[in-house]
Amino acid sequence: MTDWTERYRPTTLSEVRGNNKARDALKEWADTWDDHREPVVLHGAPGVGKTSAAHALANDMGWEVVELNASDERTADAIERFAGRASRNATLAGSVGGDSGGRQLVIMDEADNIHYQYDRGGKQAVTRLLKEANQPIVLIANEYYDMSNGLRNAAQEIEFRDVSARSIVPVLRDTLRKEDIEFEEEALERIAEANSGDLRAAVKDLQATADGKPRVTLEDVTTGSRNRAVGLFEFLDAVLKEKPAQEALQTAYDVDETPEDLLKWVEDKVPLVYEGEELARAYEFLANADVWTSRVYATDYDYSWWRYATDNLAGGVAAARDHTRGGWTRYGGAPYRSTRDATRDEVVRSIAESGGFSMSTARLDVLPFLAAMTHHCKPRELTVAMAAWYDLDEAAVSYITGSGETTNKVQSIVEDAADLRTDELEAHAGGAFADDDRGAGDAEADDGSAGADASDGGGDDSQQTLGAEVLDRDETETDDGGDGADAADDDGQAGLSDFM
């Protein structure tokens, strides 16, 4: 089931509710950016629309988006690699100081959390980035004064306030109408009032209440709505120290984080509380949770598997505890990124760069289609073509297709993709790779195109597709070096156009 907070995220600033003053200030900042060329900080409580407003602004202005969010590494090197070059360069669609449609909006989330050991050099890198940028930059923060003085002084400031219940109700009403679900007005008012200014939490409550129902009533809200969202540290205390399994599991449902993110937090922090046999039992449950989260990507993004991950990472880990604990635990900052996170980010970045669109579009719109088309590396030709087009390694192919990274199948696909890239390079290099002893007729075709040599019978000058060259070497290569393309089955062949 798609998260309604994502499905109905505002696509234009006019759809941002409850913060008209901040919304207008953000629009003015963007309209006058050529005059001041300063970054801006959007700050306020979680769920009030800061990130949504930034994306809506980019859409209104026709700007591409480059994101560095909480899942990205915050080292100086990572910030320079992900956001630094984008902030100083123009896009292909325009130039710095030219048409606004050619700009990139750099969005950096959780700017108030750049201070942990893991973020070594991050603060200085961001401050330098703000001073040197030739592109508009938006910093997102929950606590403005948790940011360093350098960051605050380098950027304009716009505060997003809690969204009033009066402004939340129309959003809930519109959402249910789009879902074709009837409702009692009193039910929407109750949800809006219960969430104390948090629009995102209100929409999540609405979805939890309306799930599977043709009509939302006040009684449904009273008996079935999600509790008020809790923070990550409160969740960690509940699971690792205080609550029995069932209550810990319920707390997990009240955190505004995905099970995949909660797994990272619990896995990173459990050694701070558990030890010995407790810790061993907890890791067994966490291993199970990891299996279930991986199942999501191995089944064409079927997020129903997440519920089993939550059972293990919350209820299971709480059940692994021998006794309750009191006191305060210093949990520290965000957990380190896993190898899977790094792989995902690299895949998304490769897709975005190749297609010329935003990281968000690559992650939400393109990656799921690639995963569905190449599930478990079938069809093989298409998977090879994809790996060649995006220059993917074993980890990336494994991530997209849901296949094991170390399997012979994935390794052979990456090897064939490398051969395919080499073949394409030679075929379109204008004879640059021709051997010295080749005849003029072989090295260069009369029409100037490369690749129309004797091995393919002097074919025309049309561009060969990637898929036409991805062949089973045992079945298609002939003894005299011919390419044997006729032996390939036309069905399932993938061409360059499949990835353009």
pLDDT tens for each residue of 68-100: 754 445 555 555 555 555 555 554 334 334 444
233-237, 240-244, 371-375, 416-420: segment of lowest average pLDDT: 371-375
| Residue 439 half-sphere exposure toward CB, CA atoms < 13 A | 6
User: Is 114 domain-assigned?
Assistant: yes
Tokens representing 435 are: 């051997």
Domain end point (choices 283, 318, 336): 336
- pLDDT > 70: percent of the chain: 70
User: Is 232 domain-assigned?
Assistant: no
State residue 258 phi and psi, 5-degree precision. -75, 155
Q: Do residues 476 and 346 both lie within one domain?
A: yes
Q: Do residues 125 and 142 both lie within one domain?
A: yes
Closest CA to 134 of 108, 102, 163, 156: 102
Q: Do residues 181 and 101 both lie within one domain?
A: no
What's the structural domain count of the chain? Answer: 4
User: Is 314 domain-assigned?
Assistant: yes
Q: Do residues 45 and 102 both lie within one domain?
A: yes
User: Is 449 domain-assigned?
Assistant: no
Tokens representing 42 are: 């959007």
| 21, 49 contact by CB (below 8 A) | no
**Is a pLDDT exceeding 70 seen at residue 465?**
no
Distances (CA, A) of 73 to 119, 191, 263, 266, 495: 7, 36, 18, 19, 35
**Domain containing 78: what range?**
4-159
State residue 402 phi and psi, 5-degree precision. 80, 15
Closest CA to 176 of 190, 187, 165: 187
Tokens representing 310 are: 């939550």
CB atoms within 10 A of CB 189: 17
| 103, 64 contact by CB (below 8 A) | yes
Q: Do residues 104 and 20 both lie within one domain?
A: yes
Which residues, listed in sequence order, are joined to residue 43 by a DSSP beta bridge? 141, 159
DSSP-derived letter for residue 312 is I
User: Is 384 domain-assigned?
Assistant: yes
Q: Do residues 10 and 131 both lie within one domain?
A: yes
CB atoms within 10 A of CB 350: 16
Domain end point (choices 224, 241, 270): 224
Q: Is 102 strand, coil or helix?
A: helix
Q: Do residues 49 and 139 both lie within one domain?
A: yes
Q: 459 or 291, which is more confident?
A: 291
pLDDT tens for each residue of 264-274: 899 989 999 99
Q: Do residues 317 and 393 both lie within one domain?
A: no
pTM of the model: 0.47
Domain end point (choices 336, 371, 386): 336
User: Is 40 domain-assigned?
Assistant: yes
In which region does residue 155 sit, left (phi positive, over 0), alpha (psi from -120 to 50) or beta (all else)?
Answer: beta
Q: Do residues 264 and 327 both lie within one domain?
A: yes
Q: Do residues 65 and 18 both lie within one domain?
A: yes
Q: Any idea what the CATH number is for the domain that residue 212 is in?
A: 1.10.8.60
Q: Do residues 359 and 418 both lie within one domain?
A: yes
pLDDT tens for each residue of 32-46: 999 998 999 999 988
Q: Do residues 321 and 349 both lie within one domain?
A: no
User: Is 150 domain-assigned?
Assistant: yes
> What angle is formed at CA 91 by the lines to CA 88 and CA 94, rounded to 5 degrees?
110
